[in-house]
Amino acid sequence: MASDTESPPPKLEFIFISFITPGHIIPMVDMARLFASHGVAVIIITTTHNSLIFKNAIDRDIKSGKPIKLHVLPFPFADFGLPESLENMNYVMSPDQNPKLYQATMLPIKPIQQMLLDHIPNCIVPDMFCPWTVDFAVELGIPRIVFQGSSYFLLCAQYSMRHNVPYENVTSDMELFVVPGLQDQVELSRLQLPDHVRTKKVFSAMLDVIRKAELRSFGVLMNSFPELEPSYLYEIATALDTSNHPFIWVICNKEMIDGGDEAWLLNGLKSRVNERDSWRAIDCLAVKQFYNEKLVIQVVMTGVGVGTEKWLSLLEDDGKVVVKKKKIEKAIIRLMDGGDEVKEIRERAKELGRKAKRVVEVGGSSYNDLIGLIDENKKDWDRHFLSEQFKEDERIILTNTDGMDEMMKKFYKTKKEEILARNRDAHGSSTTRE
């Protein structure tokens, strides 16, 4: 019988592992802070200079009593011939620094693994560019939820490009084609596609690794909200439903979609929200530039184009001017001179802003449903891991550690001792299996 003085169950604990670009760091930190505001114990792993981007905000959270903290690692810039403090893509001064910077992100993997071994959380939330974490999460027996800092529209467009390859049916790089399978008529040219889509490159292989890691993960955290792109929620739902694979589908509650109409959810799909404060600024200079441009201009219609015709890789920037000043000037005049078109654009942008604020206010759907998501997942994970505990314990006990490095040998030794101690407490005796 449990004692009246029995200590409360431990908090659900998430560890977030960030990447080296502000466009990834900032929305991930916002997401982590949102979890902490609802009582989830949060640790954010980052590097020394990258931590300065958001340290003040975290310090304020800590002072206000939120269960959040930083785990700061030194960045090995000197080992790769990088200038001191060059720890993210925004400070790259020459193209040759980009591969060095990415290679440098691989060096802290061991310290991160050791930290996770010493302090095993309920869940890890790595950036999508940390696919190595999937094997380690499996090794530790904990779920991995990958942080995907983009939109549903982007994922649908990328999926269409991979599976339909419409750019192979045009006769020139400038000829427009329609992206198949989208709810909106979105047109692109071959020149507007990333070069790793048009031809196989090193980055193409990296994205394949990232996608395979996502498929082995517990889930994906999206940096979007349903009012911004409801049609593409439907696309994701349809794809999941026809995939013939088990899934957990996390969306907004029915009051948020078409005034309560659940018909679009397909038969049997139920909703829980996994939402956050807002959809962040769009990075139209990176991998997703033209997909995001089409979302802004053609789908939600909250901006105008500046006339860019060719995709530009920041990793291979040759210094060429891709948009002439006359085109930029034309776009500025179009926006600033007023008129009915501009009024409609501004009103649509303001309305999206109002919706984004409403869903995270106290009592708002995102506010309430995120709490529900956290509670529901904690119960699901507890049930899942309790049911799987015997099989996992047996696997650990029988694991042969010959050939492993000292860190992993120590980990398995500790885990075996914990299992034997737990069995003694549960059964009043110990059974040693050699």
Helix (H, G, I), strand (E, B) or coil at 105: coil
Domain boundaries, the chain: 399-427
pLDDT-derived band at 257, boundaries 50, 70, 90: very low
Strand order in the sheet with 123-126: 68-73, 41-47, 13-17, 123-126
339: left (phi over 0), alpha (psi -120 to 50) or beta: left
Summarize pLDDT for 391-425 with one digit per residue, the tens.
777 788 888 888 888 888 888 888 888 888 877 77
pLDDT-derived band at 264, boundaries 50, 70, 90: very low
**Set 49, 61, 127, 393: catalytic member:** 127
Nearest Cα neighbor of 129 from 315, 274, 372, 401 is 315
The structure tokens listed for 384 are: 């899942």
Helices (H) and strands (E) in the chain, counts: 15, 8
Q: Identify the pLDDT of residue 386.
A: 59
Beta bridge partners of 144: 124
pLDDT at residue 8 tops 80: no
Nearest Cα neighbor of 33 from 365, 248, 278 is 278
Q: Is 384 a catalytic residue?
A: no
pLDDT-derived band at 175, boundaries 50, 70, 90: very high
pLDDT at residue 315 tops 60: no
Summarize pLDDT for 35-91 with one digit per residue, the tens.
998 889 999 999 999 999 999 999 999 999 999 999 999 988 888 888 888 888 878
Cα separations in angstroms, 94 against 72, 87, 275, 412: 26, 14, 37, 44
The structure tokens listed for 117 are: 């071994």
Average pLDDT over residues 372-398: 69
Q: Identify the pLDDT of residue 142.
A: 86
Q: Is 127 a catalytic residue?
A: yes
**Percentage with pLDDT > 70 across the chain:** 74
Which residues contact residue 49 at a Cβ distance below 8 angstroms, ignoring those fewer than 6 apart? 75, 85, 87, 88
Which residues contact residue 52 at a Cβ distance below 8 angstroms, ignoring those fewer than 6 apart? none
When mean pLDDT is compared over 96-105, 136-145, 219-228, 238-247, the highest value belongs to 136-145
Beta bridge partners of 43: 15, 69
The per-residue pLDDT of the chain, averaged, comes to 77
Summarize pLDDT for 329-365 with one digit per residue, the tens.
777 778 777 788 888 988 999 998 898 888 778 877 6
H/E stretch holding 16 reads strand 13-17
Pick the more confident residue, 308 or 257: 308
- Reported residue count of the chain is 434
**Set 24, 196, 369, 393: catalytic member:** 24
Helix (H, G, I), strand (E, B) or coil at 274: coil
DSSP string, 203-233: HHHHHHHHHHHHHTSSEEEES--GGG-HHHH
Distance CA 106, CA 113 (A): 12
Average pLDDT over residues 216-236: 74
